[in-house]
Amino acid sequence: MSFAPALRLCARRIASPALIRPSITFAGARKLHSGPSRQDKPGKYAQTDPQIEVEYPEDHELPSSEPVAGTGGQYVKPTLPTFSLDGHVGIVTGGARGLGLVMGQGMVFSGSHLALVDMNKEEAEKQTSLLIEAFKKENPRARRTPKVTAHYADVSDPESVEACIAEVVKEHGKIDNLVTSAGFTENFEAVNYPIDRLRKLWAVNVDGTYLFATSVARHLMERKAPGSIVMIGSMSGAIVNVPQPQAPYNAAKAGVRHLAASLAVEWAHANIRVNCISPGYMLTALTQKILDDNPDLKAKWTSLIPQGKMGQPQDLMGPVAFLLSDASSYVTGADIRVDGGYTVT
């Protein structure tokens, strides 16, 4: 007896593939974290010198996707409805710039309302307007525009986190999703790592992730509502990066990865899913500046990546949208590594 499906698959010839094109321009510059009070010299692959100011290129823009051009004209490429975030309310910490902002854009373009959380509220407010403009440009016939708001929080301060969550709930009425993207790295040899910087790194990368996750979980449990939390870890939580010395950062990201797994089990009864995304080397505007000053470093990194290239920020859009959506309703406690194959070699 044959069980072959009585379906015929049709292939549609596409005149030109979908391209990533810019939609939002970054402006201004941001100073990195100030250096330690003592005179220890950090590694050359991370910049913590207060005299260094990284200029974000004026023409640096967020990616977006054009409509697919087919033989019958332009059309929206179909996908499963479970991948939609339509009507969801999501939070992204560290959302005013970099990877957090790009992941936030992916959420908005998937239909989600969004709360951008950052210590730099002014920058977050600027980006909310740009995100809305980008959405309207990409979806000129959309009947609804996602609501995007900006909020301040020091992720390492419990009171600041609780105040931020209350503000988001007041503004949006609820919270469904969370992406914990706030974090930073520094390079010091372990024997010379300034203790104040070590504590700050742990407070932001680990404590901040925990505080936001537990606060959102309490909100979801009070509503008896399902939810999805995505913690942004790093491949550094599973491997030891070379040549840069960053033992505390590696340990912190390993902690984030296991925190996601632990909370996934603890909160499964409440239908709250918790997963981790571990990016590899991403070619952000900030990373590009560092590599421009250390050309041998880029060659070293790419030589260790099976795909032979660094990742782009937009490579995180799909995994985040997947894990936040109902398409991943039976996925929890997972760690998705977006690293070009680095950690499997």
Residues marked as catalytic: 234, 249, 253
Rounded to a whole number of angstroms, the distance between the first and last alpha carbons of the chain is 44
Whether a cis peptide bond, with omega within 30° of 0, leads into 78 is no
DSSP state of 311: B
Residue pair 310/281 in contact by the 8 Å Cβ criterion: yes
Q: Is the dihedral of CA 121, 122, 127, 128 positive or negative?
A: positive
DSSP state of 328: G
DSSP string, 169-197: HHHHS---EEEE---------GGG--HHH
Within 8 A by CB and 6+ apart from 25, the residues are 58, 59, 60, 61, 130
Report in angstroms the alpha-carbon separations of 160 from 30, 154, 203, 213: 22, 6, 13, 14
- Tell me how far apart the alpha carbons of residues 334 and 244 are, in angstroms, rounded to a whole number: 27
